[in-house]
Structure 1
Amino acid sequence: MGLPQDTATPPAHRKTQPTTMTTTTSTSRRRSHRVMCLSILLSMLVVIAAEMPAKLQQNPCESKINCHECIQTQSCAWCMKDDYGDRPRCFQHSSPQICPEEFVWNPDTSETILINKNLTLAKSAEAWAAGQFVSGGSYQRSYHQQSSASSSSSAAYGAQYGGAAAASAAAAAGEIVQIKPQRVNLKLRINQIHNLHVSYSQAEDYPVDLYYLMDLSKSMEDDKEKLSALGDKLSETMKRITSNFRLGFGSFVDKVLMPYVSTIPKKLEHPCDNCKAPYGYRNHMPLSNNTDIFSNEVKEAAVSGNLDAPEGGFDAIMQAIACRQQVGWREQARRLLVFSTDAGFHYAGDGKLGGVIAPNDGECHLNSQGMYTHSIIQDYPSISQINQKVKQNAINIIFAVTQSQHSIYQKLSSHIEGSSSAILSNDSSNVVDLVLQEYRKISSSVEMKDNATDEVKITYFSSCLTGGAEIKTSKCGGLKVGDKVSFTAQIQVTKCPLNPRDWKQVIQIYPVGINESMVIDLEMLCSCPCEHPGSTGYEEHSTKCSNHGTYMCGICECDDQHFGNTCECSNSDGHLSKDKPSSCRADNTTLHDCNGLGTCLCGKCLCNKRDNPEEIISGKFCECENFSCERNKNDLCSNHGDCVCGRCICHSGWEGSSCNCLSSKDTCYPPNGGPICSDHGVCECGVCKCNSTDEGRYSGRYCEKCPTCSGRCHELKDCVQCQMYHTGVLKNENDCATNCTTFTPVGVEKVKIDEELDEQLCVFFDEDDCKFTFKYAEVGGILKVHAQEQTECPPKIFMLGIVLGVIAAIVLVGLAILMLWKLLTTIHDRREFARFEKERMNAKWDTGENPIYKQATSTFKNPMYAGK
């Protein structure tokens, strides 16, 4: 018996108030100045970008070597001119024209509407009265009456994509049309976006096919009785929506195998009380406009039973959709499949429990009695198989399930296109309201879908019924009969498929749940006509290719034995083939032929030509060029040399890596004579580069100065000290007079240096730590010395007084501490003595008043006394 299954699946800114108009005006002026500066800067950047040479800008076209690669690159065009030189044939079409227009192949996107019938906005009784459908549920296809070309194309597409093309063909034959246009031819280049406009309108009184698929396990017995009683009400309710309504009925239990049902012979006949034999799926009543027999079919359908909780509902859904003729689905109608159950479902893989391993083939397997014959032969279908069948046949599934199963079926509906779920009461008493509510929900919205491949990207935009700006969406709601909704489908081919047969595709754009579609015959512009035999510009064994190749689109495609721009090179001539051009490389370590600056032809390098005729690439392996040498102030070799193989060869009188240095050294000699750079530096580019030594660093134009060097200071020190201050090692008058005869210092109050006279400053300290300063200079070969008149001595310090003062301070501090300690201890002792006296006075006994007190008796005995 089928049982219900519970499936768990900023810092604060200080505000300042302007105090005067001057402050506000100044602030505004500063802001205006900043804005003006930014505007000028942006303008300069725009001008620089506009004037940037085209060769410095990225050009994705130049690297393409054949026509189909060229047009597969966005904004690129191909030049098919015969004599075109070595210039790239693939170029940006927006750039200045470099190829005559008659030789340019630059295909544009084109759109041609093939079928564009007007939308059926009013009731089309004539179409429905044409007798397409016969009573009893069978139907006829009327769309075969169209033209032979359209018929063959639609038939081919229908074989591949189900009945969508058939619906479009039916619309083209003058029947109900809800999507416009119906067929479009589109030629599209790679990475170009094309906007295709699609319109949809729900036709009035549109046909509806409703097939009620019910779980007839034992637990659904009361639901079956209620559905039988409400059958007429369901028919009447749907006929109020559309007069062209058909109703059908089917049921399911599960596979007649263990462990799904009991295989005991007795249980196979009567699995439960008042139950019939179990079965997989049965089509009781095909879709028919004779809805009066629906209640009787439901009433006569017998319930059955099974063992496990899940049921075989997926088997039933697959057969109800796949068996289009047996069930009676019409080509042009809104198709509803109401799936009613109180249990879960088996899906692909569960069949292995019963030994069924063959996968579900998605085909119809019903016998003449409407019974599913392959229930025990093949497995349950998967969710993706159900979804694929639903999309191919444009069917809306309504899962009418009990409260306990609603959550799992709600998740299932999100994986099946156009499906929804609703809660069914325990006895199905609300089935009429449920179907009506879900139908209104489905019919009041439209969602656009497509079956584009991975190479094609389609994005939908619409304003729905608002009439405002379009937004990115593929779904519109709140629609009523007659409302017209327009969508813009942005179609973009992202890449060309590897197989050229896939360059032509048929794409279907369709509203979900409606068996109508717009068919797009898409041709991807992935190749050039001149690359195909029989077209202009295509020649096999062409003389332009030395009779050794095919001339196509202005270039040669050589055979296996020849190579070169015109197939002029042959492998049999002793030249290296195009696959082994090592003779165009300097050594085995080089990765590129001709150093990447030329083309290897017949084993020899043909160097590239530069746009500037003065720039030349040369050499056996194109290893030399005359434009990449070192520059100085943007001048190649400083305009004082020639660039040869990337190195500057300087003209006479110049040297250096960029020829920016004069070779003459005359400018490095001092004007008054002397060695070059005063022997304290080297002459580079006519300028002295001074040395740095342990004594100091030399400076000056001719390295004649050394501010940090000691010079003759130590030599003059002793004489200045004895003559000026009568101190030092020569303080004896005889010693001083004997050794100091070359100069006599001149006393000055303060010594100051005059750099123009090249004076040197000397500072020393004597034995008493007194500083004395003097300067010297040689003027006309005479040594002149100026010394400070008074030495700068540190003040004298009376050390004995300081020592005695420190000792006295220590003694005084010690005495003060002793006196303080004595004072504190005296106070403490007196307090303790006073407390002792007080306690002693309180401890005296009054012996006269104490009755217990008895005077002590003393006895004395003289041991020498014998009592005599």
Structure 2
Amino acid sequence: MFPAQWTVRLWLWLTLLSITCGEKLPDIGSCQPRPSCHECIQSHPSCAWCKQLNFVQPGESDLGRCAPWLELEHRGCLPSEIMDPHGQQHILEDRPLSNSTQHQTFTQLSPQRISLQLQPGEEQNFTVRFRRAEGYPVDLYYLMDLSYSMKDDLENIKRLGSDLLAALRDVTTSVKIGFGSFVDKTVLPYVSTAPSKWKKPCPSSGNTCQSPFSYRHVLPLTGNASEFEGRVSQQHISGNMDDAEGGFDAIMQAAVCKEQIGWRNVTKLLVFTSDGAFHTAGDGKLGGVYMPNDGRCHLDANGLYTKSHLYDYPSVAHLAEVLSESNIQPIFAVTGSRLLMYEELSRHIPKSVVGELKEDSSNVVQLIAEAYSSLSSSVNLEHSADLPPGISIAYDSHCGGSETYGRVQGGECLGVRVNELVQFTVRIKATTCLTGPQKLVLRVLGVGEELQVELTTACECQCGDIQPYAEHCSGGHGNLTCGICSCQEGYIGRLCECKQEEVLDPEARCRDVNDTGPVCSGKGHCVCGKCQCNGQASGPLCSCDNTICDRYNGQLCAGNGQCRCGQCECYLNYTGSACECSPDTSGCRQEGTPCSGHGHCVCNRCRCDAGWFGSHCSHCSDCQTPCEEHRDCAECKVFGSGNCSSLCNQTVKVVPAATTNEGWCQTKAKDGSLLIYIIEKDETGTVTLIVSSKEDATTHTVKQVVFWVLGFLAVGIAFILVYHYVMEYLDRREFRRFEKERENAKWNEEDNPLFQGATTTFINPKFNDECNGNRL
């Protein structure tokens, strides 16, 4: 017996399997009738509109013009009269990829401009290609902490300008470097404002020390190494009062002051070196600075940040947004004690890396070279921060031997080599109609190229048949648009055929005699004394429900017919109560023979003859297997029992029972015992039966059960013995360790001079025996 919980689990599993393998659920988002062409094509991607003038039958409303294309075509609408605007795409600019260094032109990203027309609910996709070019230009801005603890680092940086340029010129043909420095906000409690400390904030009197400052832009981007070394050599150390620095203020200004820094539209690296922590948004309140950082450039003519006392430090999110928009890749070169802190920061800033800086910055050139290699080999395709309303986007990445699908943050390929081509499939979908043309920008982070996507939506029908006072509308009583009439004032009806004041008691004609129910059975509208039924009803009084026909695979009339008054009217070549049958017989054929010759094909499924079963009628319920066919002969000739009356011309041999193996027949003899034999057939067709034994079936079963029980017991006993041995070994090892520690103990509790008891006794020196008398 199964336990109760296993019974429940089995039932649930079978239920789930039946749901999974059964009929599909109806598509609740399928095309539904709509009153106008615009509403129709906006409702569902499968919807189309027939503008053919005489398409709608008498008694029907124009709602029936909205339906899937195939249904409209089967109902007689000409393909040229069907409005089915789907999404379109046009590549506007697609320069070929190249890594040419001629005239310093590079094209790593293609295409460059594309226009997409989206139908709501329908997905459009296009391919973006990227090939990493050799020698792509680099701008590197070195941003250094000049607090007193970085004194040794500054001396080394003064001598590394040429080495830094040389290292970058190994990987690119065009490189520029610049320099800036920072300390902290120039208000208490970040720096001391006492006159003596302001002039000389350094703790040591032997160093040349400059007054504190928030951020100073020292050198715009240049390709002159000697100029870099000259300007940096003029810098002096400064100091502040707390451990954290104002590096976020400096990064923000270096990112937004594009003209002062001299950023080009190339790969932009910002090297941030420090051995301290950082202040972030909210810390400025300690110094009375509470206004949020405005993200604008505030450098004076000398390159000093002049608003540090007015604007708070930027937040991590604000900084990440500005760096991403400016396409700047930060390299945080920090000392080992701050490594974990900046690694956590790097997780929130796209396309940033962290490297461990030696205490004197002696490894900064190697660190920058390794960081640049890591950044440039990572290709991240992303879109602009804010998507237009109703637009969703997903990326499929094709990176050589690896594929990733459906990432909404962006596409990513790692370890991309120079001149290696990677591709991304961008899938865009609109859920609503856009108010107007929208622009979406895609770019590879760290690369100064972008793809501009112009987005529009196909939400309007361009039927081309607009006719004011159209003859089709009862001789000019209405305007014709997309096959339907908009009546002039005073006229009603689908074709504007009635004057409103001339229709007397029209609702009386839209009910059965003595019927007090709703007009048109509640499934239509009474116009000019006639019922105009909605898309789910038909008949003179809309009494026929066109939604109760048989379904197949979750679709009404299997999608191969129309529901009319509860009955499916099948399209050509389709039959069945749900129009589920087609002339196709491929599902019935196996090896070219329909239903294996033992049945007939109905609705592309086999109906088997009596005695046969299976999906292709290939199995017989009354047929004997070869083992059963030769059972009587083998039993009769060897053991003299069973049915010896049947003709037995086979040669029979007897072998020992120990020689049997897989492939032997094991059938029940007439007396219920187990008969074991094998059938051999030579090239001439002669059959030989090789019989092994006949044994009681119960005995055979008991042997198998005993074998499995003994095997299980043996495994259990072996496990117990192993467990006992392991526990015994561990206990003995622990006891030996305890004995060894006790022998090595040099003091006991009584002799140990450091031992202190748990209780202490104090005696009052004023105490005497007289206090115990009546004097107390």
TM bracket, shorter-chain basis:
0.5 to 0.7
Change (3 A) 1:208 1:82: same
Match of 1:329 among 258, 263, 271: 263
Match of 2:127 among 179, 194, 197: 197
Q: What residue is the counterpart of 1:428 in the other structure? A: 361
Match of 1:606 among 523, 531, 534: 531
CA displacement, residues 154-186 of structure 1 (integer Å, 9 cap, x when unaligned): xxxxxxxxxxxxxxxxxxxxx310011111222
Q: What residue is the counterpart of 1:103 in the other structure? A: 81
CA displacement, residues 99-154 of structure 1 (integer Å, 9 cap, x when unaligned): 22222111233222221111123x41x313xxxxxxxxxxxxxxxxxxxxxxxxxx
* Amino acid aligned to 1:308: D
3-state SS of 1:339 partner: strand
8 Å Cα contact 1:79-1:105 kept in structure 2: yes
1-structure distance, mates of 2:194, 2:128: 59
8 Å Cα contact 2:357-2:364 kept in structure 1: yes
Match of 1:356 among 289, 295, 299: 289
3-state SS of 2:244 partner: coil
The answer to whether residue 38 in structure 2 is matched with residue 68 in structure 1 is yes
Within-5 A mapping of 1:632-647? none
Change (3 A) 1:627 1:285: closer
Query: CA shift at 1:285, angstroms?
Result: 0.5
Change (3 A) 1:432 1:79: same
Match of 2:70 among 85, 91, 94: 94
8 Å Cα contact 2:33-2:67 kept in structure 1: no
Query: CA shift at 1:606, angstroms?
Result: 2.1
* Amino acid aligned to 1:381: P
Q: What residue is the counterpart of 1:460 in the other structure? A: 395
CA displacement, residues 549-599 of structure 1 (integer Å, 9 cap, x when unaligned): 7643233567999876457899999999xxxx9x9999xxx9987553112
* Amino acid aligned to 1:104: I
2-structure distance, mates of 1:67, 1:549: 17
Q: What residue is the counterpart of 1:266 in the other structure? A: 196
2-structure distance, mates of 1:385, 1:469: 32
* Amino acid aligned to 1:552: T
8 Å Cα contact 1:214-1:251 kept in structure 2: yes
3-state SS of 2:366 partner: helix
Change (3 A) 1:626 1:212: closer
CA displacement, residues 56-110 of structure 1 (integer Å, 9 cap, x when unaligned): 9878323322223322311211112234333511110133443222221112332
8 Å Cα contact 1:569-1:575 kept in structure 2: no
3-state SS of 1:500 partner: coil
Q: What residue is the counterpart of 2:412 in the other structure? A: 475
TM-score, scaled relative to structure 1: 0.53
The answer to whether residue 45 in structure 2 is matched with residue 115 in structure 1 is no
8 Å Cα contact 1:206-1:334 kept in structure 2: yes
Change (3 A) 1:109 1:257: same
* Amino acid aligned to 1:240: D
1-structure distance, mates of 2:305, 2:502: 75
3-state SS of 1:463 partner: strand
Structure 1: 5+ residue runs without aligned partners?
Answer: 1-9, 12-41, 129-174, 531-535, 630-645, 647-868
Match of 2:175 among 229, 245, 261: 245
Match of 1:485 among 403, 412, 422: 422
Q: What residue is the counterpart of 1:79 in the other structure? A: 50
2-structure distance, mates of 1:459, 1:598: 43
8 Å Cα contact 1:75-1:94 kept in structure 2: no
3-state SS of 1:441 partner: helix
3-state SS of 1:94 partner: helix
Query: CA shift at 1:509, angstroms?
Result: 2.0
Within-5 A mapping of 1:171-190? 175-190=105-120
Q: What residue is the counterpart of 1:552 in the other structure? A: 481
8 Å Cα contact 1:462-1:471 kept in structure 2: yes
CA displacement, residues 473-514 of structure 1 (integer Å, 9 cap, x when unaligned): 72222222211222222x2313124x522xx22222211111
TM-score, scaled relative to structure 2: 0.59
Change (3 A) 1:65 1:262: farther
3-state SS of 2:150 partner: helix
Change (3 A) 1:364 1:401: same
1-structure distance, mates of 2:477, 2:195: 82
1-structure distance, mates of 2:547, 2:163: 92
Change (3 A) 1:519 1:609: closer
Query: CA shift at 1:607, angstroms?
Result: 5.2
2-structure distance, mates of 1:288, 1:461: 39
3-state SS of 1:529 partner: coil
3-state SS of 1:522 partner: strand
The answer to whether residue 145 in structure 2 is matched with residue 215 in structure 1 is yes
Change (3 A) 1:595 1:368: farther
Change (3 A) 1:310 1:617: farther
Q: What residue is the counterpart of 2:673 in the other structure? A: none
CA displacement, residues 799-827 of structure 1 (integer Å, 9 cap, x when unaligned): xxxxxxxxxxxxxxxxxxxxxxxxxxxxx
Change (3 A) 1:606 1:246: same
* Amino acid aligned to 1:65: P
The answer to whether residue 247 in structure 2 is matched with residue 313 in structure 1 is yes
8 Å Cα contact 1:541-1:549 kept in structure 2: yes
Change (3 A) 1:57 1:295: closer
8 Å Cα contact 2:531-2:540 kept in structure 1: no
3-state SS of 2:277 partner: coil
Query: CA shift at 1:383, angstroms?
Result: 2.2
1-structure distance, mates of 2:466, 2:327: 47
Match of 2:164 among 234, 246, 252: 234
1-structure distance, mates of 2:215, 2:246: 8
CA displacement, residues 725-760 of structure 1 (integer Å, 9 cap, x when unaligned): xxxxxxxxxxxxxxxxxxxxxxxxxxxxxxxxxxxx
Change (3 A) 1:412 1:552: farther
2-structure distance, mates of 1:324, 1:548: 66
Between structures 1 and 2, the one with greater strand share: 2
Q: What residue is the counterpart of 2:325 in the other structure? A: 392
Q: What residue is the counterpart of 1:275 in the other structure? A: 209
8 Å Cα contact 1:609-1:617 kept in structure 2: no
* Amino acid aligned to 2:399: C
CA displacement, residues 5-33 of structure 1 (integer Å, 9 cap, x when unaligned): xxxxx99xxxxxxxxxxxxxxxxxxxxxx
What is the percent sequence identity of the aligned residues?
A: 38
2-structure distance, mates of 1:266, 1:540: 89
Change (3 A) 1:364 1:600: farther
3-state SS of 1:397 partner: strand
* Amino acid aligned to 1:493: K
Within-5 A mapping of 1:37-76? 60-72=30-42, 73-76=44-47
Change (3 A) 1:260 1:610: closer
Change (3 A) 1:339 1:569: farther
* Amino acid aligned to 1:259: P
2-structure distance, mates of 1:220, 1:407: 19
Query: CA shift at 1:281, angstroms?
Result: 1.1
Within-5 A mapping of 1:735-774? none
Q: Give the structure with higher Rg (CA).
A: 1
8 Å Cα contact 1:506-1:520 kept in structure 2: yes
Within-5 A mapping of 1:433-444? 433-444=366-377
Query: CA shift at 1:241, angstroms?
Result: 1.7
* Amino acid aligned to 1:386: L
CA displacement, residues 685-737 of structure 1 (integer Å, 9 cap, x when unaligned): xxxxxxxxxxxxxxxxxxxxxxxxxxxxxxxxxxxxxxxxxxxxxxxxxxxxx
Match of 2:435 among 489, 497, 500: 500
2-structure distance, mates of 1:291, 1:66: 71
Within-5 A mapping of 1:366-765? 366-451=299-384, 452-453=387-388, 455-466=390-401, 474-489=411-426, 491-497=427-433, 500-501=435-436, 504-530=437-463, 536-538=464-466, 551-556=480-485, 565=494, 596-601=522-527, 606=531, 608=533, 616=539, 618=541
